[in-house]
Amino acid sequence: MAETEAALRTLARNVRAARTRAGLSLDELGRRAKVSKGALVALEKAQGNPNFATLVRLADTLGISVSALMEGPAEARVRVVSADAVMPLWAGEKGGEARLMLTTSGPAPVEVWRWKLEPGEEYPSHPHQAGVVETVSVTVGQMMLVVEGTEHRVVAGQTATFDGDAPHAYRGSGTETCHLIMTVHIPPGPGPGPTA
């Protein structure tokens, strides 16, 4: 429980700092991100339990990565992250999950995600800010990548890339669990970059 409280405090501090850097009021951030002012007030007070979609909308609106909202200050020059040390940010109804492993620092950060999708399990993603590029690399099984309504089968050993500012979804297909690595390439934003 202490880890969850510490994570909420870090998230609260990072959202408040990013909002301040962007010069946005709570009302304006809420309007742009489609998040209620009450939810933002609670979030900045380290209360509540924001879902994954809310975090993505806030990060996109603020022009930073999801992990920049969640990470504390960098501790070392080299970071090694174990999947079991990172809590899933999305859990599917059939056992699938998404874990944000890390985000590179710099003016154009890259998020590295580990995904697991069960057959028939789907995660629909809203479009990201213009300039975001995603890749999916399937390591085991197969998936259906749906971009603007068009399905693209991606099997073990294949990598696909697409512009993330279009509606898209990831769906497990075939008969076995699909494991994939996803990267989200975030364009440089105005002003200071993420604090990853």
Where helices occur in the chain by DSSP H, the ranges are 2-22, 26-33, 37-44, 52-62, 66-70
Cα separation, 44 vs 112, in Å, equals: 26
* Residues above pLDDT 70, as percent of the chain: 90
* Number of other residues whose CB lies within 10 A of the CB of residue 117: 27
Residue 140: C-alpha distances to residues 31, 135, 147, 166 (Å): 40, 16, 21, 26
Question: Which pLDDT score is estimated for 193?
Answer: 37
Residue 161: C-alpha distances to residues 17, 152, 156, 179 (Å): 32, 11, 15, 16
Cα separation, 170 vs 50, in Å, equals: 22
CB of 133 within 8 A of CB of 127? no
Residue 40's identity, in one-letter code, is L
Q: pTM value?
A: 0.66
CB of 37 within 8 A of CB of 26? yes
Each residue of 109-164: pLDDT tens digit?
899 999 999 999 999 998 988 999 999 999 999 999 999 999 999 999 999 999 99
Residue 77: C-alpha distances to residues 74, 99, 105, 132, 196 (Å): 8, 22, 11, 26, 12
Higher pLDDT, 18 or 95: 95
DSSP designation for 86 = S
> Residue for token digits 């874990």?
99
Looking at 63-72, 99-108, 138-147, which range is the least confident one? 63-72
Say whether pLDDT at 1 is over 60: no
